Amino acid sequence: MAVLKGLMKLLTSLLLLVLGLGAAALWWVHQPMGTRQATLDLSIEPGTSPKAIAQAVAVAGAHTSPTLLYAWFRLSGQSRQMRAGSYEISPDTSPKRLLNMLVRGEETLRAVTIVEGWNWRQVRQALAKSENLQPDSRGMADEAVMAQLGRPGVAPEGRFYPDTYSYAKGASDLAVLKRAMLSMDKHLQQAWDGRQAGVSVQSAEEALILASIVEKETAKGSDRPLIAGVFNNRLRIGMRLQTDPTVIYGLGEAFDGNLRRIHLTRDTPWNTYTRGGLPPTPIAMPGKAALMAALQPAKTSALYFVSKGDGSSHFSASLDEHNRAVNRYQRGIQSSP
């Protein structure tokens, strides 16, 4: 009997010990690990073992035992589901929260925005300034960048869809450009597939060029189809487009913000005052509205338009009407009754 009582006491003690350890473990996995810095950067490469991940967390500066952390990973049954990526660990991150982050792939993401109407030079500047974006394209000529993206011989202007692109810390700027390029491909194809019968542009490439001009001509959404309608009419009858944004683009970095009359006569491949048809490349990154306007232009008899000075434009079907509008809106001269 004494032996049995002793055995029962031993079993009870072991049970209490197990329960105590279980309670301690449950408490531990929910407690913040604490960090040496406000935020720790943790980079997990593909193929890293759970044990190496636990070690990397401690090396990064988390106040935790890599042995206990590895044990938690294994006991959770999710150790093989942890994903590679870039993560941020804050001081209040617990082992349980850390495991959830790694299993769900909750990477720390940054973002860069390509703005409608930006040119290629502005896109490159934005990428160069983006936080924690690997500048793999830095120092590359435009031709080399496009070759890396799988489009050798294609000009980069107009090829990247304006949008906000998220990326993980340390991602390549070329990867962001690739996504933006494929997004433009998709939106351009959708617009081309839905094109209006009888549009003057003969290909999706020409549509992209025209859309970029429409994008630069106005920021007023309701005017875009009308402006596209004017250009559609001019292309149809062989009239020069005579649009200032193409001239400015052709001047490049030499343009000082003041378009002068002499600039309109200075011939470049993009000067639509001196050359007929569309310029050889887009002049900016057009957004969805400009793409749709280029391929679904308003049905109008207008051949001219002039800015009213309030962001909108006045459209005219004849040169006489246009000249009166120029006098009114640009020169402040009212026509005689």
- Given a cut of 80, whether residue 26 has pLDDT beyond it is no
Instruction: With respect to residue 320, please indicate whether it lies within any of the assigned structural domains.
Output: yes
Tell me, yes or no, whether 274 and 170 share the same domain: no
pLDDT at 2: 63
Tell me, yes or no, whether 127 and 180 share the same domain: yes
Do 160 and 285 form a contact (C-beta atoms < 8 A)? yes
Domain count, the chain: 3
Its domain, for residue 184, covers 109-188
- Minimal CA–CA distance to 189: which of 179, 198, 181, 197? 181
Residue 89's pLDDT band (cuts 50, 70, 90): confident
Kindly state the tokens that stand for 292. 């749709």
Domain limit, last residue, from 49, 81, 107: 107
Tell me, yes or no, whether 102 and 115 share the same domain: no
Tell me, yes or no, whether 139 and 53 share the same domain: no
pLDDT at 332: 66
Q: What percent of the chain has pLDDT over 90?
A: 64
Find tokens 């070690």 and name the residue: 55
Tell me, yes or no, whether 273 and 246 share the same domain: yes
- Taking only the tens place, the pLDDT of each residue in 121-169 is 999 999 999 988 999 999 999 999 999 999 999 999 999 999 999 988 8
Q: How many CB atoms lie within 10 A of CB 318?
A: 12
Q: Looking at residue 37, which CATH number applies to its domain?
A: 3.30.1490.480
Query: What is the average per-residue pLDDT within 302-320?
Result: 91
Tell me, yes or no, whether 152 and 166 share the same domain: yes
Find tokens 């913000």 and name the residue: 257
Domain limit, last residue, from 84, 107, 130: 107
Tell me, yes or no, whether 313 and 237 share the same domain: yes
Tell me, yes or no, whether 48 and 148 share the same domain: no
- Given a cut of 80, whether residue 66 has pLDDT beyond it is yes
Query: What is the average per-residue pLDDT within 177-203?
Result: 96
Domain limit, last residue, from 85, 107, 129: 107
Q: How many CB atoms lie within 10 A of CB 146?
A: 19
pLDDT at 43: 82
